[in-house]
Amino acid sequence: MRKSKWLIFLLTIAMIFSLIGCQPKDSEDVTGDGLFNPGTYTGEGQGLSKIKVEVTVTEDKITDIKVVEHNETPGVGDVALEQIPAEIIEYQSLGVDIVAGATMSSNGIIEAITQALEKAGADIAALKKVPAKTVTKTGETIEKETDVVVIGAGGAGLAAAVSAHQNGAEVIVLEKMPKVGGNTIISGAAYNAVDPKRQQLQGIEDSVDKHFQQTYEGGDKLGKPELIRILVENAYPALEWLESMGMEFTDEVFTVLGGLWPRAHKPVEPLGTGYIKTYMNYIDNNSGIEVLLNTRATELIKENDRVVGVKAETPEGNLIVRARNGVVLATGGFSANVEMREEYNKIWPSLKNLKTTNHPGATGDGIAMAKAVGANLIDMEQIQLLPMGDPETGSLSGNIEQAVENRIFVNKQGKRFVDEGARRDVMTQALFEQEDAFMWVILDSKNYPTGDVKNNFNETIDELVAAGRAYKADTLEDLAKQIGVDPDNLVEAVNKFNEAVETGGPDEFGRTLFQWKIDTPPFYAGARVPTVHHTMGGVEINEKAQVLDVNGNVIPGLYAAGEVTGGIHGSNRLGGNALADITVFGRIAGENAAKNK
Ligand code: ADP
């Protein structure tokens, strides 16, 4: 008896231990009556990189989500990795919204958490129901007053906010998304400026006049010359202004896609994060600029012909912000607004089914608000496409090119079809004429001396190859086989290109930008399609960034800067001119709004 009692006791202890032993990571053999089998479970998902999580659940609650591995883009994807787990825990639901501008990272983290919860025995379909968010609108309208109101917290808006503050103003920034940065933070971020230091060291001849000419002629002389002058003359001072606030650019300038000349500056931080961080550091370290997220401006308030404030919506209710000095519109373009694209596009085939490089907030709100108070809109039909979109997402990420000089484009037959150093519209038009409007970027290992060299989007070439987003081969013939193009055509295209590198061109397509031959294995290929990138048209402004009405008169109290404006880039914006534009005019708009007492 005694012996068997001991045995039962020992067995009980063993069972308790074995149960405890079952609970840690990935136990699947414990069953219970609750929503989950308590424990900690791992899951994996695919964002731009592999995302690994550990999810801890009790019987009826998700209590903790840890991201244990990822390599998502700082300031973009990693925002999703913070926000989505927090919301899943808050709402106990997988039906949460994806984070704007970070679609792939959002889907990747949701996939990883879903996998872990499946292992925890959860009813995934039930968890995917969209949560009833418990935000209660008070119905009250809150009123605030400040000197300068800025609408939009992208590059132009934050430049305006900082500049207004430096000119003595108190500022409120309204941003409709749950984060700052807009398109600027996810952009390639190249900044064109004639640079007396860097270009000289590299032996590059350039001048402000040349930058002017290329911008004016590159936009088919549609841009307003007086605005282009302001842009090219102030590009370098504005770059120095950014540097004075701690922003770093690399030592060498380069030619960005469609930039036509080596005057593009590359930030040290990935994508556009450097700009946004610089402004946000300033804002954090100085009192007097308030940034309100999740706050969507809906209407400009005009009294006695003067813009005096903004109406907005917040999760808590309505907001009115009155501006003692001025309002700066910096809401960006409308590339993500398919209806507006269809309304204004007169130049391209239908853009309905094209994807965009833009964040989902680029819906042209500012254009509609300005129009409602009488602003003149110009060049609205000028919509810029890029030939460099990811076939899946439309984003520029995954683009393997390192510099315009060192890669070629081939179509599905393996043949070149355009000067790859040409204007963006010329290249995109040529791409539309190829089978399926589809092409491969081809380059060699001089661009990627090792597998861990990154592209401009913080992705290593090894990661891209592993994810099936790029192809790698030791011979061009093998590369051709992998991507399904005719090997003879590809070899011939590369040989001809290499001959042109030797002579310096122009080659049969008129190409003149060359640096290296494509001759050092391994060779790489990456697929690209047209994508909607930038809307050149918008609100008309003058040299002081004041908004003009349909009769060419200033609308007092209203300023605009950045992609919401039109009339600078004409029919075609040069690569690298957007960051210069939004910084220069954001800075001018902020200063003039502050001084408009
Ligand atoms: P730019 O390059 O001109 O600065 P961005 O796209 O970088 O343009 O930034 C524009 C910002 O304006 C984005 O963050 C976008 O979410 C924000 N925005 C757009 N419409 C509104 C609106 N109605 N209210 C508040 N913010 C807005």
Q: Whose CA is nearest to atom 8 of ligand 1?
A: 332
Query: How far apart (Å, rounded) are the C-alpha atoms in residues 109 and 77?
Result: 10
Amino acid at 31: T
Pocket test for ligand 1, best of 176, 294, 563 (most atoms within 8 A of CB): 176
Hey, is 303 helix, strand or coil?
strand
Query: How far apart (Å, rounded) are the C-alpha atoms in residues 588 and 584?
Result: 6
Hey, is 442 helix, strand or coil?
strand
- pLDDT at residue 13, as a whole number: 39
**Residues contacting 509, CB < 8 A, separation 6+:** 416, 417, 418, 419, 420
- C-alpha of residue 185 to centroid of ligand 1, in Å: 11
Q: For ligand 1, what atom is nearest to the CA of residue 152?
A: 12
Are the C-beta atoms of residues 565 and 539 closer than 8 Å to each other? yes
pTM, two decimal places = 0.75
Q: Is 511 a catalytic residue?
A: no
Q: Which residue has the tokens 């790859």?
A: 420
- pLDDT at residue 28, as a whole number: 35
User: Which of 209, 214, 242, 267 shows the shortest CA–CA distance to 456?
Assistant: 267
Query: How far apart (Å, rounded) are the C-alpha atoms in residues 116 and 54?
Result: 7
- pLDDT at residue 18, as a whole number: 37
Copy the structure tokens of residue 75: 């300031």
Sign of the CA dihedral running 516, 519, 525, 528: positive
Residue 437 is given by DSSP the state: G
Burial 32-65 (b: 16+ CB within 10 A, else e): eeebbbbbbbbbebebbbbbbbbbbbeeeebeeb
- pLDDT at residue 457, as a whole number: 84
Q: For ligand 1, what atom is nearest to the CA of residue 586?
A: 4
Copy the structure tokens of residue 322: 């009155």
Angle, alpha carbons 297-298-304 (nearest 5°): 100
Of 416, 424, 528, 573, the active-site residue reads 424
Query: How far apart (Å, rounded) are the C-alpha atoms in residues 51 and 84?
Result: 13
User: Which of 292, 288, 325, 331 shows the shortest CA–CA distance to 309?
Assistant: 325
Neighbours of 229 (CB within 10 A): 16
Burial class for 426, CB neighbours closer than 10 Å (0-12, 13-18, 19+): middle
Rg (the chain; Cα; Å): 27
Copy the structure tokens of residue 42: 């791992």
Query: How far apart (Å, rounded) are the C-alpha atoms in residues 106 and 98?
Result: 5
- pLDDT at residue 48, as a whole number: 78
Query: How far apart (Å, rounded) are the C-alpha atoms in residues 50 and 104?
Result: 11
Q: Ligand 1 pocket by C-beta < 6 Å: which residues?
A: 151-157, 174-177, 182-184, 296-297, 330-332, 361-362, 365-366, 562-564, 582
Are the C-beta atoms of residues 493 and 517 closer than 8 Å to each other? no
Bridge partners of 460? Answer: 454
Sign of the CA dihedral running 70, 76, 79, 84: negative
Pocket test for ligand 1, best of 331, 369, 534 (most atoms within 8 A of CB): 331
Q: What is the pLDDT along the chain (597 residues), one digit of tens a residue?
A: 333 444 443 334 333 333 333 333 333 333 456 899 999 999 999 887 899 999 999 999 999 999 999 987 666 677 789 889 999 998 899 988 877 667 788 899 999 999 999 999 999 988 988 676 544 455 688 999 999 999 999 999 999 999 999 999 999 999 999 999 999 998 889 999 999 999 999 999 999 999 999 999 999 999 999 999 999 999 999 999 999 999 999 999 999 988 999 999 999 998 899 999 999 999 999 999 999 999 999 999 999 999 999 999 998 899 999 999 999 999 999 999 999 999 999 999 889 989 999 999 999 999 999 999 999 999 999 999 999 999 999 998 899 999 899 999 999 999 999 999 998 889 999 999 999 999 999 999 999 999 999 998 889 999 999 999 999 999 999 999 999 999 999 999 999 999 999 999 899 999 999 999 999 999 999 999 999 999 999 999 999 999 999 999 999 999 999 999 999 999 999 999 999 999 999 999 999 999 998
Copy the structure tokens of residue 49: 């990189």
List Cα–Cα distances, 134 to 87, 137, 316, in angstroms.
12, 9, 11
**Residues contacting 46, CB < 8 A, separation 6+:** 108, 111, 467
Helix (H) or strand (E) holding 238: helix 225-244
Hey, is 432 helix, strand or coil?
helix
